[in-house]
Amino acid sequence: MRIIYFDLDGTLTDPKAGITRSIQYALERLGQPVPTEDQLAWCIGPPLLASLKKLVDTEALAGKALLLYRERFSGIGLFENEVVPGIEDTLLMLPASGRRTMFTKGPPIFINLAFPAVYLNASSPEPAPSLPRQHA
């Protein structure tokens, strides 16, 4: 049996809207210039604090921006991910092909689309606490 691991952000879903809108929220609250979502796309991937520091110029403001970012992202931005077009059909056909499908995500966010297991982090083989451990 083959196991296929998928990373959530950037593979199954596009996190751009949630991340960039949360950065915009933080910048606006701090009275800083607010770039467009497309202009903030470079912030996706690198460490967020470093990106915020480039946007606001000081460590102190970057720290405040990070707190404001988290304020919005935790309640709104987290749910603004968009499913990558076509991925749903691909995921639905994989179990019928005899492959086990597992999902990885660094932060404690996970999805379960009726597949055998959901893994929180590719570096840890421990499944999400609410799911039974399954052996390959």
Q: Which residues contact 32 (CB under 8 A, 6 or more apart)?
A: 55, 56, 61, 65
Domain boundaries, the chain: 3-12+83-127, 15-79
Ramachandran angles phi, psi of 52, nearest 5°: -65, -35
CB 38 within 8 A of CB 51: no
Fold of 15-79: DNA polymerase; domain 1 (1.10.150)
- Catalogue the long-range contacts made by 128-134 (C-beta closer than 8 Å, 24 or more residues apart): 134/100
Reading the chain (136 residues) residue by residue, the pLDDT tens digits are: 577 777 777 778 889 999 999 999 999 999 999 999 999 999 998 899 999 999 999 999 999 999 999 999 999 998 998 888 888 888 888 878 887 777 776 543 444 444 444 443 444 444 444 433 333 3
Q: Is 7 a catalytic residue?
A: yes
Token couple for 86: 């076509």
Catalytic residue among 7, 14, 38, 57: 7
Whole-model pTM: value is: 0.69
